Amino acid sequence: MPGPAYPAVENYRFDWSALDEATIRAALDKVAAAGPQCASGLDGSLAGRTMRIVADGGPYGAGPTLAYRFESGGRLTLSENGGAEIGAGYGALRLGPIAFFAHLIPGTLRGYAVALDEASGLVTVIELWFAGYDKRKREVMRSVSFGYAGDMPVSEERHKFSNRVEGKGFYWKQDGGAETLEYYPSIAYTHWVELTRMNKKQGYSAPADYIQLSETYDLYTRTECEFSGIFQAHVVDLNRAQQVGLRIGFNAADELEFYLFRGEGEWLGQIAKFEQFGDQVAGPMLPRPGPGQSAAIDATAKGARAVYRPLETMPKMSKAAVAAAVKANTLVFAKRTGAGDGAAGMAGNSLPSSGGLAGRNATIRYDGGPVMQYRFDGPEELSWRRDGKGDWTTARYRAWESVPGVFLFGHVLEGMPDYDGHIVCADFESGKATCYNGYLNTPYFANEAGARTLFGKLESEGVPDPGNARHTYTSEMLGRAITYNYSPGLTSMHLYSTPKTTSWIIFTPQGSGGLEWCGSGAQVKIRDGLYFLYWIEEACNGTLGTILINLRTMHDAGIGYHCGTEGLSMSQVGAQCRHAGRFDVERFFADIV
């Protein structure tokens, strides 16, 4: 059932209504004749003009030919491809020489947004329609084509997809009051944070287009796939941080939003790009079959592009199914089969494991949590007891010493009803300890991990008493982008967009940012330059990932905790890292760090 337009629950947790075509059409028909409005007023300079637009190219071939007559009172008539004239309402705004206008086609599920550069005569046409994705008819589809205005092109130049916006970040405030942080770490995706419409603790990722209109102006689009399905586009002046744009789609209250906006912004920084020098490779990324998908995909279909829909392929298990899978197979740090650590995949470049805890005894007292007693019986076996009760339990563990005296170790707590795993950062020089307590049987899918952050103190021979001092949440990772090369050919970048969000970007073979997703997380400072982080791949595959990253050596060690149909696993994670840059966003989150 619809609720608030912008709910407190995270977007990927909201139960979006499955709107049908009749409901969508009825809502569009109510506004098609009037056209979109704007909180700060529309531009009327197109009134009285006629215009022929020929979209003769683009990623999907030639687009439409559109003949417009703009009338007074926000009305126009349109002929598509030489067809009969249709009347509709429209709205227009200007940004420098760019005229941006949008309208619906009455009686249909379609419309257009057009960016015309009157200095060059070049045009980008975005055709929009609903009900193009059968599983979510509310999701707006788009097809982009490029062309010119007039009877004949003045040159062979056209607007083009470009990677020049890749790596930038902006703060935007629209004339209607909406404020967002927008990160552009990819040529095909975007990441944004709603500062006013929603809880700013969580960021989101969605497919995007980045189109260069001129040396000064670009056009950006975002479709909130997997969420509301709302489409947003804006022309941006990169130098002045100004925008004009369109927002169309149904919010969480199933209300149609259809309006134009102006915005003022602030440039927040530029992170590194990893293409070859001079490489201007750009999107859109074309679709391809993903895991578990066997159906043929037509990459040349109108509007086709790669969209990350991880929830469609994630096994969604019940508590009973999780119990059976865990009982059948629990694998904790697969044993070595030869020389070295036996690490592969996500741990090919990890730190070597350490035997430095072997022979030690320790107690960790977590504030408001359990008291964990440990006997480290060897380099890969420990015994644990909780709250001083019951018998000792033997468990397999692994440990890594990221800096002298600071160990990361993890183990599964056999016998716990939610199959808990403890992933612990213990500082034997300060007496502080922090645990990411992974667990299953979470509310949405029983196999999707949850995480609790436990702060406490470490007691062991020769370790000082920290008193009330603890590791703490930190803003020092906020806005950073770090690349992680786990093994040859397996590299991603993490963007710490909010104090409680991690977004991950997968690189294309050319080194461009590609597909992107995000989930909740935490950022804890252990020492200067040493940070303990987690992220959960929510509505994706349910994995809890943790890393202890040393920003001075740019090397990390980590532990993954995952449950699927194959069982429960705790495994090594680790990578060689690069600092890709940092966005200036701390001030937006001063109240929640």
Token pair in block for residue 147 = 């062309």
Q: Judge contact between 99 and 118, C-beta under 8 A.
A: yes
Q: What value does the mean pLDDT take over residues 25-52?
A: 98
- The H-or-E segment that residue 571 falls in is strand 567-573
pLDDT of residue 280: 85
Chain centroid to Cα 319, Å, comes to 28
The tally of domains found in the chain comes to 2
Q: Judge contact between 496 and 473, C-beta under 8 A.
A: no
CA–CA separation, 265 vs 181, rounded Å?
9
Q: What value does the mean pLDDT take over residues 556-568?
A: 97
pLDDT tier at 343 (50, 70, 90 boundaries)? very low
Q: Judge contact between 548 and 530, C-beta under 8 A.
A: yes
Q: Verify that 278 and 386 share a domain, yes or no.
A: no
pLDDT tier at 342 (50, 70, 90 boundaries)? very low
Q: Judge contact between 592 and 499, C-beta under 8 A.
A: yes
> 237, 272, 307 — which closes off a domain?
307
**Per-residue pLDDT tens digits for 148-206:** 999 888 889 999 999 999 999 999 999 999 999 999 999 999 999 999 999 899 999 99
**Per-residue pLDDT tens digits for 417-435:** 999 999 999 999 999 999 9
Q: Which domain holds residue 364?
A: 319-589
Q: What value does the mean pLDDT take over residues 550-558?
A: 97
> 270, 287, 307 — which closes off a domain?
307
**Domain-located, residue 2:** no
Q: Judge contact between 292 and 527, C-beta under 8 A.
A: no
> 283, 307, 331 — which closes off a domain?
307
CA–CA separation, 335 vs 421, rounded Å?
18
Q: 517 phi and psi, to 5 degrees?
A: -145, 180
**Domain-located, residue 296:** yes
pLDDT tier at 289 (50, 70, 90 boundaries)? low
Q: Judge contact between 114 and 124, C-beta under 8 A.
A: yes
Q: Which DSSP string corresponds to 280-305? A: ----PPPP---TT--S---TTSTT--
Q: Verify that 201 and 341 share a domain, yes or no.
A: no
More confident residue, 509 or 267: 267
pLDDT exceeds 50 at position 467? yes
**Domain-located, residue 552:** yes
pLDDT of residue 288: 65
Query: Domain holding 213: CATH number?
Result: 2.40.128.20
How far lies 393's CA from each of 299, 319, 377, 438, 452, in Å?
54, 24, 12, 18, 22
Q: Verify that 188 and 74 share a domain, yes or no.
A: yes
pLDDT exceeds 50 at position 337? no
Please tell me what DSSP assigns to residue 8.
Answer: S
pLDDT of residue 108: 98
Q: What value does the mean pLDDT take over residues 208-228?
A: 97
Q: Judge contact between 567 and 459, C-beta under 8 A.
A: no
pLDDT of residue 294: 54
**Domain-located, residue 284:** yes
pLDDT tier at 113 (50, 70, 90 boundaries)? very high
Task: Quote the pTM value.
Answer: 0.95
Q: What value does the mean pLDDT take over residues 7-22?
A: 93
Q: Verify that 93 and 55 share a domain, yes or no.
A: yes
Q: Judge contact between 568 and 326, C-beta under 8 A.
A: yes
Q: Verify that 240 and 159 share a domain, yes or no.
A: yes
Instruction: Tell whether the torsion through CA atoms of 35, 41, 43 and 44 is positive or negative.
Output: positive
Helix (H, G, I), strand (E, B) or coil at 328: helix
CA–CA separation, 408 vs 263, rounded Å?
46
Q: 155 phi and psi, to 5 degrees?
A: -160, 175
**Per-residue pLDDT tens digits for 85-108:** 999 999 999 999 999 999 999 999
How far lies 417's CA from each of 327, 366, 371, 512, in Å?
12, 20, 18, 43
Q: Judge contact between 508 and 306, C-beta under 8 A.
A: no
Of the candidates 524, 586, 523, which has an alpha carbon nearest to the alpha carbon of residue 181? 586
Chain centroid to Cα 118, Å, comes to 35
Q: Verify that 337 and 219 share a domain, yes or no.
A: no
Q: What value does the mean pLDDT take over residues 250-269?
A: 98
pLDDT tier at 335 (50, 70, 90 boundaries)? low
CA–CA separation, 400 vs 498, rounded Å?
28
Q: 395 phi and psi, to 5 degrees?
A: -145, 155
**Domain-located, residue 26:** yes
**Domain-located, residue 205:** yes
pLDDT exceeds 50 at position 140? yes
Q: Verify that 276 and 350 share a domain, yes or no.
A: no
**Per-residue pLDDT tens digits for 52-90:** 999 999 988 899 999 999 999 999 999 999 999 999 999
Q: Which DSSP string corresponds to 369-405? A: S-EEEEEE-SSSEEEEEETT-S--EEEE-EEEEEETT
pLDDT of residue 336: 41
pLDDT of residue 285: 83
Helix (H, G, I), strand (E, B) or coil at 51: strand
CA–CA separation, 253 vs 509, rounded Å?
40
pLDDT of residue 301: 85
Q: Average pLDDT over the chain, rounded to whole?
A: 94
**Domain-located, residue 36:** yes
Q: Verify that 114 and 161 share a domain, yes or no.
A: yes
Q: Verify that 256 and 339 share a domain, yes or no.
A: no
pLDDT of residue 191: 98
Percent of the chain whose predicted confidence (pLDDT) is above 90: 88
**Domain-located, residue 359:** yes
Instruction: Tell whether the torsion through CA atoms of 579, 584, 589 and 591 is positive or negative.
Output: positive
Token pair in block for residue 81 = 């491809």
Token pair in block for residue 24 = 């969508």
Q: Verify that 356 and 298 share a domain, yes or no.
A: no
Q: Verify that 247 and 364 share a domain, yes or no.
A: no
pLDDT tier at 339 (50, 70, 90 boundaries)? very low
pLDDT tier at 341 (50, 70, 90 boundaries)? very low
Q: 235 phi and psi, to 5 degrees?
A: -85, 135
Question: What Rg do the C-alpha atoms of the chain give, in angstroms?
Answer: 27
Q: Verify that 211 and 146 share a domain, yes or no.
A: yes
Q: What value does the mean pLDDT take over residues 383-396?
A: 96
